[in-house]
Amino acid sequence: MLKLEDISVHYGSTVAVDHVSLSVEEGELVTLIGANGAGKSSTLRAISGLEPLKGGSITFEGWPIERARPQDIIERGIAHCPEGRRVFPALTVRENLEMGAYRRLDRQRARADLDGLLDRFPRLRERLAQPAGTLSGGEQQMLAIARALMARPRLLMFDEPSLGLAPNFVEQVFALVDEIRAEGTTVLMVEQNAYAALELCDRSYLLETGRVVCEGAAQDMLANPEIRRAYLGG
Ligand SMILES: Nc1ncnc2c1ncn2[C@@H]1O[C@H](COP(=O)(O)OP(=O)(O)O)[C@@H](O)[C@H]1O
Ligand SMILES: [Mg+2]
């Protein structure tokens, strides 16, 4: 479904992503793990068209997208839940959710989707008219996820969805990611918490300083002694 071949992202003289190749098949939950600064967010941003490639190619459902504009990539069916749950703080919860569907032409179905999402996130329904900035961190993350779902993506990318959340929200977020995949949406998730990521996903790629140093089925990665030592606390 998604294929990155030999992609690189540079920021001036900083090499953030260094010849990375990876793929995601339809229906999979794939994670990208690795320490802070490994190039995980830059990889997602490159897929979304937010960072230009220094080299390499990206195809989604067979279409080359490495030169497409971000809004066209969304239209093709990729949604991106960015790091730091960026909701629009001054806009209401409702307005934030409507922003998620602004590229959609099927307005009636979008309204039905909104209703369905509000059934799923009753706390958002209660707070529809409230500015998003007044929500708690966990509620803002739920809003960011609900907003991404409003685009009805076929591939949903999450960038550290649990970062900075209280433990009960962390569990909720991972349960939600699992549910979204079970409903048929393909997921590519970036996560610094390697253990939580490997418990949840089918396959994973480990990034170190912009390179893929290990990849495989989640259970094999969990059993790998080097990964256990470096990322899973022995
Ligand atoms: N906008 C930017 N300008 C310059 N350097 C950046 C920028 N964004 C990220 N970097 C650098 O690129 C590298 C990879 O960053 P990032 O993709 O954010 O890693 P991760 O998400 O794995 O923490 C880091 O060295 C980071 O400092
Ligand atoms: Mg990051």
Q: Domain of 78: which CATH number?
A: 3.40.50.300
And the tokens for 200? 């949840």
Q: Alpha-carbon distance 216 to 56, whole Å?
A: 22
Question: Residue 203 belongs to what domain range?
Answer: 2-86+156-231
Q: Alpha-carbon distance 118 to 21, whole Å?
A: 38
Q: Is 34 in the pocket of ligand 1 (CB under 6 A)?
A: yes
Going by alpha carbons, the residue nearest to atom 12 of ligand 1 is 16
Going by alpha carbons, the residue nearest to atom 26 of ligand 1 is 37
Q: How many CB atoms lie within 10 A of CB 89?
A: 12
Going by alpha carbons, the residue nearest to atom 1 of ligand 1 is 11
- Identity of residue 172: Q
Task: Say if 51 falls within a structural domain.
Answer: yes
Task: Say if 101 falls within a structural domain.
Answer: no
**Cα 29 to ligand 1 centroid, rounded to whole Å:** 24
Task: Say if 71 falls within a structural domain.
Answer: yes
Q: Alpha-carbon distance 62 to 115, whole Å?
A: 33
Q: 3-class secondary structure for the chain? A: CEEEEEEEEEECCEEEEEEEEEEECCCCEEEEECCCCCCHHHHHHHHCCCCCCCEEEEEECCEECCCCCHHHHHHHCEEEECCCCCCCCCCEHHHHHHHHCCCCCCHHHHHHHHHHHHHHCHHHHHCCCCEHHHCCHHHHHHHHHHHHHCCCCCEEEEECCCCCCCHHHHHHHHHHHHHHHHCCCEEEEEECCHHHHHHHCCEEEEEECCEEEEEEEHHHHHHCHHHHHHHCCC
- Identity of residue 191: E
Task: Say if 17 falls within a structural domain.
Answer: yes
Q: Tell me the pTM.
A: 0.94
**Cα 156 to ligand 2 centroid, rounded to whole Å:** 16
Q: Alpha-carbon distance 212 to 26, whole Å?
A: 21
Q: Edge-to-edge, what's the strand order for the sheet holding 2-11? A: 14-24, 2-11, 55-60, 63-64
Task: Say if 202 falls within a structural domain.
Answer: yes
Task: Say if 113 falls within a structural domain.
Answer: no
When divided into structural domains, the chain yields a total of 1
And the tokens for 186? 């393909």
pLDDT tens-place string over residues 9-56: 999 999 999 999 999 999 999 999 999 999 999 999 999 999 999 999
Q: Is 161 in the pocket of ligand 1 (CB under 6 A)?
A: no
pLDDT tens-place string over residues 149-182: 999 999 999 999 988 888 888 888 999 999 999 9
Task: Say if 82 falls within a structural domain.
Answer: yes
Looking at the DSSP bridge assignments, the partners of residue 131 are: 92
Task: Say if 136 falls within a structural domain.
Answer: no
Going by alpha carbons, the residue nearest to atom 2 of ligand 1 is 11
pLDDT tens-place string over residues 75-114: 999 999 998 878 999 999 999 999 988 777 788 888 888 9
pLDDT tens-place string over residues 208-231: 999 999 999 999 999 999 888 888
Q: Is 37 in the pocket of ligand 1 (CB under 6 A)?
A: yes
**Cα 71 to ligand 2 centroid, rounded to whole Å:** 21
